[in-house]
Amino acid sequence: MSIAVELPALGESVLEGTVARWLVKEGDRVEQDQPLVEVTTDKVDAEIPAPAAGVIEAIVAAEGDVVPVGGVLARIAPDGERPAASPRDAGAASAQPAPRAPAAPAPAVRPAAEAGPAAAPRPVAPARPVAPAPAARPAAPPEPPRATPVARRAAEAAGVELAALEGTGVGGRITKADVERSAVPAAEAARGAAPAPRAAAPPARASEPSQARAATPRAPAARAGAPHSAAAERFGHYAVQEGDRVVPMSPLRKLVAEHMVYSKQTAPHVGTVAEVDLGGVVRLRDERKRAFQEQHGVPLTFLPFVVHATVRALREHPALNASVLEDAIVEKRDVHVGIAVETEKGLVVPVVRHADRLSLAGLAAAIEDLSARARTKRLSADELTGGTFTVTNPGREGNLYGFAIINQPQVGILRMGEVVKRPVVRTVDGEDAIVIRPLMYLALSYDHRAVDGAPANAFLHRVKQLLEEADFDV
């Protein structure tokens, strides 16, 4: 039985690591304690040693992959269970009573995950076929296709069956290029052969029921966020074309995708927009930003103003600081505001806890600290959970307004637009006049299961009012 090389718990606050560099290849023989792979975490760089001597059967996590603590990095076929000890060779060795080769088939089995739940215990197969299997052994179960991790993922992404491919890599391994070459015809074949897009396995292997599962053990997880089977069949999936770049989803991307689909399916979203005159806030910010930076060590942006106004409004409108729980609506005592942060790895939403207890400076510092650490991946799990409402500021130019997807299990999310100067009509000394004001569109998405239009608009209007009054203690 192969031994899994797992990412050890390197520290109580270390939750995951990124595979930086493999020091060995599949098929390499390793000694116990030999460094196999370098993994970087937010705290330390660690070389993970081999738990036992043997042959690297499979590298499971590719360079650049983020692996959770306990996640499998590689599998080792340990010494003593390699081909020499397998019943296949034991039969050939006939009367020689080899100490580790019992006459009856060895009870060693492949891990269930590889063999498929229905498969009977199978004899251990050599990790690498040293020579072609003799023709007289038609009953021997076929090897799972050997492929590089990158190729496996490309195949999953493109819906290509690995078993159908001819490997051109080292030792006949299937490479990403092999997958890409086959992707176009395979996808076309799948469309023609609907409704079974995965039926493209070659006839020679079609009799092996566990083969398909063994070849794509991670297929369901890899399909996160993608339209699912039946619907995908009806409405069609994209056939990868030559020249396309197939980018596997990172774990974070998959999580975001799943969350978005879940939220849209769960909560009927309604959007509403307020036009906010930020004249007062702009003046305050211009007056104070220099001193603020000096005093608090963080820049004074619009975001803390908006968050400050939001938490005050949430206090007055608890219906927006809520969750839907089965057939009840839970209004929460505490106000913890999630701040959406775009990082190199994707979207994360750290949470400012008890945001209603913080001053404007406190909010600014907390937001700055959380976003800086989000970008350097130094957030703890606690800091990413427990939000009761979310504010997002995509903040790129040309962003007039848009409706964000609610961060479940919350019931509202506020999305900031770009601050732009516009001519507006104001009444000055009883006369209407056109004046130039810095405006921002503030868009609220809310869950209509929990909140109706009138209270949602009242809440949004209150945020607008607070921002326009600009009564902030900076």
Partner 1 sequence: MADGLHIEWLGRVPYDEALARQAQAVEARRAGACGDRLLLLEHPPVVTLGRSAREANLRTPRAQLAARGVAVREVARGGDVTWHGPGQLVGYLIVDLAARELRDAHAFLRTVEAALAAALAGLGVEADGREGMTGVFVAGSRPPRKLASIGLGLRGWITWHGFALNVTTAPDAFDDIVPCGLHGVVMTSVARELGGAPPALFDEARAAVARAFAERLA
Q: What is the DSSP string of 255-287?
A: HHHHHHHHHHHHS-EEEEEEEEE-HHHHHHHHH
Residue 210 binds partner 1 (CB under 8 A): no
CA–CA separation, 149 and 172 (whole Å): 14
Closer residue to partner 1 in complex, CB, 39/444: 39
CA–CA separation, 370 and 379 (whole Å): 7
Q: What is the DSSP string of 372-384?
A: HHHHTT---GGGG
Residue 63 binds partner 1 (CB under 8 A): no
Using a 10 angstrom Cβ sphere, with 0-12 exposed, 13-18 middle and 19 or more buried, the burial of residue 442 is buried
Catalytic pick among 448, 461, 471, 473: 448
Nearest to 350 by CA among 307, 410, 390, 302: 390
Residue 14 binds partner 1 (CB under 8 A): yes
Closer residue to partner 1 in complex, CB, 91/297: 297
Per CB under 8 A, the list member of 2, 5, 7, 10 interacting with partner 1 is 10
Least Å from the CB of residue 194 to partner 1:
45
Question: Is there a catalytic annotation at residue 448?
Answer: yes
Using a 10 angstrom Cβ sphere, with 0-12 exposed, 13-18 middle and 19 or more buried, the burial of residue 393 is buried
Least Å from the CB of residue 65 to partner 1:
15
Amino acid at 205: R
CA geometry: angle 331, 334, 338, nearest 5 deg: 100
CB within 8 Å of 201: residues ≥ 6 apart = 161, 163, 164, 211, 212
Residue 31 binds partner 1 (CB under 8 A): no
Closer residue to partner 1 in complex, CB, 92/372: 372
CA–CA separation, 61 and 50 (whole Å): 15
Per CB under 8 A, the list member of 2, 41, 86, 388 interacting with partner 1 is 41
Question: Is there a catalytic annotation at residue 42?
Answer: no
Closer residue to partner 1 in complex, CB, 168/380: 380
Closer residue to partner 1 in complex, CB, 18/410: 18
For residue 126 the two structure tokens come to 């050599």
Residue 43 binds partner 1 (CB under 8 A): yes
Please answer whether residues 200 and 188 qualify as being in contact, where contact means their C-beta atoms are separated by less than 8 angstroms: no
Stretch that binds partner 1, among 7-15, 108-116, 198-206, 411-419 (CB under 8 A): 7-15
376-435 binders of partner 1 (CB under 8 A): 376, 378
Residue 291 binds partner 1 (CB under 8 A): no
Closer residue to partner 1 in complex, CB, 181/345: 345
Residue 334 binds partner 1 (CB under 8 A): no
Nearest to 212 by CA among 153, 282, 275, 163: 163
Closer residue to partner 1 in complex, CB, 32/229: 32
Least Å from the CB of residue 268 to partner 1:
38
Using a 10 angstrom Cβ sphere, with 0-12 exposed, 13-18 middle and 19 or more buried, the burial of residue 19 is buried
Least Å from the CB of residue 71 to partner 1:
17
Interface with partner 1 (CB under 8 A), residue total 28
Catalytic pick among 45, 452, 471, 473: 452
The distance of Cα 348 from the centroid of its chain, to the nearest Å, equals: 10
CA–CA separation, 386 and 300 (whole Å): 26
Q: Is 39 helix (H, G, I), strand (E, B) or coil?
A: strand
Closer residue to partner 1 in complex, CB, 40/323: 40
Residue 33 binds partner 1 (CB under 8 A): yes
Identify the helix (H) or strand (E) that includes residue 94. none
Stretch that binds partner 1, among 81-89, 107-115, 372-380, 396-404 (CB under 8 A): 372-380
Residue 290 binds partner 1 (CB under 8 A): no
Residue 448 binds partner 1 (CB under 8 A): no
Least Å from the CB of residue 44 to partner 1:
4
195: preceding bond cis by omega (within 30 degrees)? yes
Residue 46 binds partner 1 (CB under 8 A): yes
Residue 349 binds partner 1 (CB under 8 A): no
Binding site for partner 1 (CB under 8 A): 8-14, 20-21, 33, 35, 38, 40-41, 43-49, 296-297, 369, 372-373, 376, 378
Residues with catalytic function:
448, 452
